[in-house]
Amino acid sequence: MSSEELILNVEKALDEIRPFLQSDGGDINLLSIDDGKLVKVQLVGACTSCSVNQMTLKSGVEMTIKKYAPQIERVINVE
């Protein structure tokens, strides 16, 4: 998968997640994909102060991104 395809697939995954985050007053932005394995995102809005944002990141965001781009190993939130 080319880097352009990887970015498109990660964006597709984020588009799948976005409605759930937006319904709670938050959102997510893709910052970068490092070495084709590490996705850096930024949770914004209500997601920044949500007490379960790390669980959302791991169980929701990371799992969905891996569905679209299996080579991704980790997803981290950059504040």
Arithmetic mean of pLDDT, 6-25: 93
Two structure tokens written together for 61: 């965001």
- Output the average pLDDT for the chain: 90
**If DSSP codes are grouped into helix, strand and coil, which group holds residue 77?**
strand
Residue 79: pLDDT band by 50, 70, 90 thresholds? confident
Output the pLDDT for position 50: 74
pLDDT value at residue 57: 73
Residue 47: pLDDT above 90? Answer: no
| Long-range CB contacts for residues 48-54, cutoff 8 Å, separation at least 24 | 48/79, 50/24, 50/26, 53/77
**pLDDT (tens digit per residue) in 54-72:** 777 777 899 999 999 999 9
